[in-house]
Amino acid sequence: VRQRVVIVGAGFAGIDCARRLVNEAVEVTLVDRNNFHTFSPLLYQVAAAGLADSDVAHPVRGLFHDAANVRFRQATVSGVDWRARTVLVSDGPDLPFDHLVVAAGATTSFFGVPGADAHSLPLGSLADAVRIRNHVLRLFEAADADPSRVAAGDLTVVVIGGGPTGVEMAGALTELFSMVLAKDFRRLDVARARVVLVELAGGVLPPFSDRARRHAAEQLVARGVELRLGEAVEEVGPEGVRLRSGERIAAATVVWAAGVRAAGLADVLDLPQGRAGRIEVGPDLRVPGRPDVWVAGDMAGTGLPQVAPVAKQQGAHVGRQIGRLVRGRAVQPFRYRDRGSMATVGRRAAVADLPLRIRLTGAVAWVAWLFLHLLYLAGLRNRATVLVNWTWSYLTWDRGNRLITELPAPAPKRGRTPG
């Protein structure tokens, strides 16, 4: 009988692992709580109304139409029964395995900052991105009806965290405000809308080269983003944030882009965990003492950065190694091939630190960024719609996805109630 491989998580690691197993003599079950794979590097564009949610997500089943040995199961994994070698799911039958690949990714970490959990909006999932878009656009509608709300911070966004996600979010929001919403809300003084980026380190994009960091900071400032560098957030409340310096910023929107830790599943597996809850693994990505349990991506405690290329390469490695084992060959250690990092600030402004100390900034880096993101996006349809959206926005300075798709719970009606 063929060995059963269960992969938990259809993210970058899980998908690439399953792809490597398509032609192996194994039965693969890929489990995810969502029925889609999310391309997280473009989530900020959904939050800033540049792309639609369906542009950056792809149904998992659609990725494996031609793979006879890969099944998908939509379910939330709640734990593992190690003795019975079964993955426990909170909905439907449990899943027995011969090899288990844990690739459930990461979740937001609020670092215990008071009020951050309750009053800030994280950007970790597709639902988070849509929530931010709805929230910001709703505040513009409310301010249009009652402009006095602008002074109370209704059009101020504080982005916490100056890593790639925070920088990209802040840059995209100022562009949304100045290029698009200023035309939509002609009676509102949109120039008073603020985007403030708070970063603990002395500069934005801490892991990038000095040149990239300088360029990103200059471009953000040129676009109107206010930087608070070397500054910590002490508290987040319903009215805004309080910084360590004592400054209070009134803001109705606080986006948390400051940190991640291993997804909650890592805490219930009874496996040794290291920094930020990541599961400890050996050089081949197996859990020490458990030769049939593999961890890949953001959850794996390898000390490598939590980025998509690491997850993809680790997922592919695990798939290849399971294939080797099935064919009676020895397992090899994992080696990461670092092809550099990129981040974009906005229209014609990006930074790229590439191998051989090649440093790109400005329009060249931006075009490289656009091209690579299109290339890695799953599915031809998504690539086509993203390309159309980007071309349209570039030529017309417009963003078509500024829809408010969720209404808040109705406020109690003021005034006399009839009858």
The candidate with the shortest Cα–Cα distance to 160, out of 262, 264, 239, 234, is 234
Distance, in Å, from the CA atom of 14 to the CA atom of 173, rounded to the nearest integer, reads 31
| Cβ distance to ligand FAD smaller for residue 188 or 253 | 253
Q: Which amino acid makes up residue 55?
A: D
| 32 contacts ligand FAD (rule: CB under 6 A) | yes
Q: Which of 7, 10, 102, 241 binds ligand FAD (CB under 6 A)?
A: 10
CA atoms within 13 A on the CB side of 106: 27
Applying CB under 6 A, does 55 fall inside the site for ligand FAD?
Answer: no
Which of 63, 65, 89, 59 has its CA nearest to residue 75? Answer: 89
Binding mask 239-268 for ligand FAD (x = CB under 6 A): ------------------------x-x---
Rounded Cα distance, 383 and 39, in Å: 11
Rule CB under 6 A: is residue 45 a binding residue for ligand FAD? Answer: no
43 in contact with ligand FAD (CB under 6 A): yes
DSSP-derived pairing of the beta strands 248-250 and 240-243: antiparallel
Starting at the edge strand that comes first in sequence, how are the strands of the sheet with 99-102 ordered? 70-74, 26-32, 3-8, 99-102, 290-295, 286-287
Q: Which stretch binds ligand FAD (CB under 6 A): 138-146, 226-234, 284-292, 304-312?
A: 304-312
Rounded Cα distance, 241 and 252, in Å: 10
Of positions 161, 162, 164, 240, contacts ligand FAD by CB under 6 A = 164
Binding segment (CB under 6 A) for ligand FAD, from list 8-16, 113-121, 216-224, 345-353 = 8-16
The closest residue (CB) to ligand FAD is 11
Q: Is 77 in the site for ligand FAD (CB under 6 A)?
A: yes
Distance, CA of 46 to CA of 283 (rounded, Å) = 37
On whether the CB atoms of residues 21 and 315 are closer than 8 A, the answer is: no
Question: Is residue 370 near ligand FAD by the rule CB under 6 A?
Answer: no
CB of 410 to ligand FAD, least distance (A): 31
- Is 294 a binder of ligand FAD (CB under 6 A)? no
Task: With contacts defined by CB under 6 A, name the span among 98-106, 146-154, 270-278, 316-324 that binds ligand FAD.
Answer: 98-106
Is residue 298 a contact point for ligand FAD (CB under 6 A)?
A: yes
**Is 350 a binder of ligand FAD (CB under 6 A)?**
no
Geometric angle at alpha carbon 37, from 119 and 108, rounded to 5°: 25
Least CB distance to ligand FAD at residue 15 (A): 8
What DSSP string describes 361-376? Answer: EHHHHHHHHHHHHHHH
C-alpha to C-alpha distance for 346 and 219, rounded to whole angstroms: 8
Which residues ranging from 106 to 125 are in contact with ligand FAD (CB under 6 A)? 123-124
Q: What is the CA radius of gyration of the chain?
A: 23
Question: CB under 8 Å to 177, separation ≥6 — which residues?
Answer: 155, 190, 193, 195
105 is a site residue for ligand FAD (CB under 6 A): yes
Closest CA to 318 of 306, 302, 303: 302
Binding of residue 326 to ligand FAD (CB under 6 A): no
For residue 124, the minimal CB distance to ligand FAD (Å) is 5
Are 104 and 296 in contact, with CB atoms under 8 Å apart? no
- The stretch near ligand FAD (CB under 6 A) out of 2-10, 91-99, 187-195, 227-235 is 2-10
Q: Is 12 in the site for ligand FAD (CB under 6 A)?
A: yes
Span near ligand FAD by CB under 6 A; candidates 29-37, 50-58, 195-203, 324-332: 29-37
> Least Å distance between CB 228 and ligand FAD?
21
Residues annotated as catalytic are 168
Stretch that binds ligand FAD, among 173-181, 225-233, 282-290, 308-316 (CB under 6 A): 308-316
- In this structure, are strands 300-301 and 240-243 parallel, antiparallel, or unpaired? unpaired
Question: With binding defined as CB under 6 A, does residue 316 bind ligand FAD?
Answer: no
Q: Are 116 and 236 in contact (CB under 8 A)?
A: yes
**Minimal distance in Å, beta carbon 412 to ligand FAD?**
35
Nearer to ligand FAD, 143 or 302 (CB): 302
**Which positions touch ligand FAD (CB under 6 A)?**
8-14, 31-34, 40-41, 43-44, 76-77, 103-105, 123-124, 164-165, 263, 265, 297-299, 306-309, 311
